[in-house]
Structure 1
Amino acid sequence: MTIIASLLRNAELPDSPTARLDVELLLAAALGKPRSFLHTWPERIVSTEAAQAFDGFLKRRRTGEPVAYILGQQGFWNIDLEVATHTLIPRPETEMLVETALELLPSAIPHRLLDLGTGTGAIALSLAKDRPQWTVTAVDRVDEAVELAERNRQRLHLDNAHVMRSHWFSAVEGQRFDLILSNPPYIASNDPHLVEGDVRFEPSSALVSGTDGLDDLRLIVSQAPAHLEAGGWLLLEHGYDQGAAVRELLNRHGFEQIQTRRDLGDHERITFGRVPC
């Protein structure tokens, strides 16, 4: 017979930088309980079935498989999302896009937004939940991602969000938005980080964008003005060393009020600009 405290104490994940958190998340999932249960009832006996499930989770994590893929879910901003291996795992730094969008647009006005390359729907659905008076369109070119984002939308009951298949702007020709935002692929094809950590398990199509990582950013910046209302904003996540390049792209295509913000690691992480009013 095994108790919770014993499993927590003896579990080992030597290659994980967040080993303690990983162990707690995996054990809580095996038990079907929240993490707080582990600390409230450390002497609770764990069933054989739950202990076996936990052991299976640990074995998968030791191979490097991300916790989010093992559990099939990930928290982001103010929502919980279903995740799968054909989409990126939503990351905390991407919440900067949501935070900035909420700052830039008056909350009481019924704005129209477009999220390019939505993946799980994390950005679009977070905004749709926080601003029910806004209309948010989420697009992705991968069918499985569109289906996943739509499942998340339906589960969250967000009728002001719409998910559709589109290769960037291809399905929204003739439409204009007050704000467009995207976390596109921005890693160079020869980047050594592609064979390290969680990234090994994520789809390369959602990560890699040409030899310098800027191919998709170039396309979005060049085509966005035709899809923005006068005074509309374009917000982009990018690599830690791409801020200057993205600012130059925005300036070249006529954007004004260009700014870059840094993440908690003090890396340039998002850059945005506005088309002239």
Structure 2
Amino acid sequence: MSHDEHDHDHEDHDHSGPLVELVTLRDWLRYAVTRFNRAQLFFGHGTDNAWDEAVYLMLHTLALPLDRLEPFMDACIPLDERETLLEIIDRRVESRMPAAYLTGEAWLAGYRFKVDPRVIVPRSYFAALLADGLSPWIDDPETVTRVADVCTGSGCLAIMMAHTFPNAEVDAVDLSADALAVATDNVADYGLEAQVHLHQGDALAPLAGQRYDLILSNPPYVTAEAMAALPAEYLHEPEMALAAGDDGLDVVRSLIAQARAHLNPGGLLMVEVGHNRHLVEAAFPDLPLTWLSDDHAEDMVFLLREDELP
């Protein structure tokens, strides 16, 4: 190849490919969705489809408002920003890492939380229930004075509980010191250090002698069979935040056994178990479980009153 031919070939290379051919945000979103679909990515950490995931990643990477897509769809993107877009798309596809870990944040019911692989990505059916003040199970959120969040992870539900129950002291527990380090940052970000208190330990053990109006938990509840079949995205999360024994009920058993000693008269235990209702009912056939439902989920959370617990 002559020198001229080499230069010409180099020019062609420089003037093709996504960095040159994709100009607008609309172009980049189309490209990202195609890449995500072809790679058969799994979406379950804040979004549930390739389009929403692409929109979130592109807007976050460009430091644009996450709720304002349309005004920017046909904006031309400078080359240096195109490079950052290509990088984030490549990382999502090649690493199979959840978007929240790539951006360092997760959103739940309008709340923003810092996250990284030390902690599970926030997601919970409690988010919508707390937004409604846990009505009708709690008459007046302002009369609640003590609540506990067991298996708090990033601290997301404890922080939401502090906002839902403004007069309540919130005790939040997790077995993982790494998770509590993340939770500490999130509690500080919301200025709730005086209201939310973090404790390290197994289930209710760190709360010996304490009683609450409400104990809430979104514990690990993935069965051994389901753990073996998890998509690659979930393998970036701490295993201890997901796995809960053969039937997924290791922590649930502990909560049910210990909760009554930690509840005030008339107090409530609420536990999220995902799609494991049948396993809970099989394990506790004599308990009068109440299954909560709302517009977002049905039969994912059970409730037991203090006098219904063993």
Give the structure-2-normalised TM-score.
0.80
Asked if 2 retains the 8 angstrom alpha-carbon contact of 1:116 and 1:139, the reply is yes
Asked if 2 retains the 8 angstrom alpha-carbon contact of 1:263 and 1:269, the reply is no
Q: Structure 2: which 5+ residue stretches go unaligned?
A: 1-19, 42-47
Q: Which residue of 2 aligns with 1:212?
A: 247
Q: Which residue of 1 aligns with 2:156?
A: 122
Shift of 1:229: 0.9
SS at match of 2:148: strand
2:119 to 66, 81, 87: 87
Greater share of strand: 1
* 1:271 counterpart = 2:302: yes
Distance 1:56 1:146 in 2: 30
Paired positions, count = 273
Change (3 A) 1:193 1:184: same
User: Residues 167-187 of structure 1, C-alpha deviation per residue, up to 9 Å, x if partnerless?
Assistant: 212221111111101011111
2:182 to 148, 152, 156: 148
Q: Which residue of 2 aligns with 1:6?
A: 27
Asked if 2 retains the 8 angstrom alpha-carbon contact of 1:113 and 1:179, the reply is yes
Change (3 A) 1:266 1:8: closer
Distance 2:149 2:282 in 1: 20
Distance 2:67 2:252 in 1: 41
Q: Percent identity among equivalent residues?
A: 26
Change (3 A) 1:124 1:243: farther
Change (3 A) 1:95 1:197: farther
Shift of 1:98: 2.6
* More off after superposition, 140-149 vs 191-200: 191-200
Q: Which residue of 2 aligns with 1:245?
A: 280
Asked if 1 retains the 8 angstrom alpha-carbon contact of 2:291 and 2:301, the reply is yes
User: Residues 91-124 of structure 1, C-alpha deviation per residue, up to 9 Å, x if partnerless?
Assistant: 2524255357632332221420000010011111
Shift of 1:203: 1.4
Alignment of 1:11-22 (within 5 A): 11=32, 12=34, 13-14=36-37, 15-16=40-41, 18-22=49-53
User: Residues 26-52 of structure 1, C-alpha deviation per residue, up to 9 Å, x if partnerless?
Assistant: 111111111345420333222333222
Shift of 1:6: 2.0
Q: Which residue of 2 aligns with 1:182?
A: 217
* More off after superposition, 139-148 vs 197-206: 197-206
Alignment of 1:39-188 (within 5 A): 39-63=70-94, 64-96=96-128, 98-99=130-131, 102-103=134-135, 104-105=137-138, 106-158=140-192, 159-188=194-223
Shift of 1:156: 0.9
Q: Which residue of 2 aligns with 1:30?
A: 61
Q: What is the root-mean-square deviation in Å for CA atoms of aligned residues?
A: 2.5
User: Residues 247-274 of structure 1, C-alpha deviation per residue, up to 9 Å, x if partnerless?
Assistant: 863845xxx6x31124667652000110
Change (3 A) 1:145 1:97: farther
Which amino acid in 2 is paired with 1:31?
Answer: L
Distance 1:98 1:36 in 2: 22
Change (3 A) 1:205 1:101: farther
Shift of 1:69: 1.3
Distance 1:125 1:6 in 2: 38
Which amino acid in 1 is paired with 2:29?
Answer: L
Larger Rg, first or second structure (1 or 2): 2
Shift of 1:275: 1.2
Asked if 2 retains the 8 angstrom alpha-carbon contact of 1:243 and 1:260, the reply is no
Which amino acid in 2 is paired with 1:174?
Answer: G
SS at match of 2:54: helix
Q: Which residue of 1 aligns with 2:7?
A: none
Change (3 A) 1:37 1:212: closer
SS at match of 1:102: coil
Distance 2:207 2:285 in 1: 21
